Chain A
Amino acid sequence: MTWSTFWSMGGFALYVWPAFGFGFLVMVGNLVAAVRLEKRARREVREARETHDLES
């Protein structure tokens, strides 16, 4: 296999590459969502602490 046949995928490039592109885009999106979830969790733990302090 050569690089040009690899990229053209025997004429199926229009379907093969978007399929892999979409798949990995979603998988990376999951990672971003995990980062945001962790930030939110950490913030909420800290805020729970602050309200706790105010009450006591």
Chain B
Amino acid sequence: MNGLLGAQLRMIYRARGDYLAPVIFYVLVASLFPLALGPSPRLLSLIAPGVIWIDATLASVVAFAGLFRDDHDDGSLEQMLLSPRPLELIVLVRVFAGWVSLSLPLVLLAPLLALWFSFPPPILPVLLVSLVLTTGCLTLLGALGSALTVGLRHSLVLLPVLLLPLATPVLIFGAHAVLLAERGLDPRTPLYVLAALFFLALALIPKATAAALRVALEV
């Protein structure tokens, strides 16, 4: 288990250039909103939760499209299927490594975005907690989407079409936790629901992802 995770993380570290692009995408898209809508701090802090959530969702979809692609192309996916370890466990490790390499940077950059969008600093903890839960759900969904489209060459547009409708509850509860906190209301209800959704996804999606990988390899 440790060896598996370590190997994954080392592999990700070696290919770190690939993982920078989604982060740049995330920051770049966020910077487009002030350019398109004007720099008024009042307006920006009003739309900030929506902007950050849509941005994080799109960046995740872009980032996770290739989660299993390289494994598929170089044949290591077959090895995963043949390995004595349960495929669900391998998927889970892959998802965790993917979260650390692709989603954690998005979470850590959130204070920067909060600064850009004139967020009141006291709600930063709510922002971080809801972003961690949201990106957790999105990573799991992204893994499923990546596994479903792994054999396809032209999955770039298909993947968002599959994933974005499934991700709407996460978007709603994540963004509204921050929205409520911004208005001085209690954000705990959406955070609890978000946590429940995360654990539900954690319980169900690795199984679906493993099934999708078996389908992709036609076994």
In the complex they form, do A and B come into direct contact, defined as C-beta atoms under 8 angstroms apart?
no
Interface residues of B (CB under 8 A from A): none
Interface residues of A (CB under 8 A from B): none
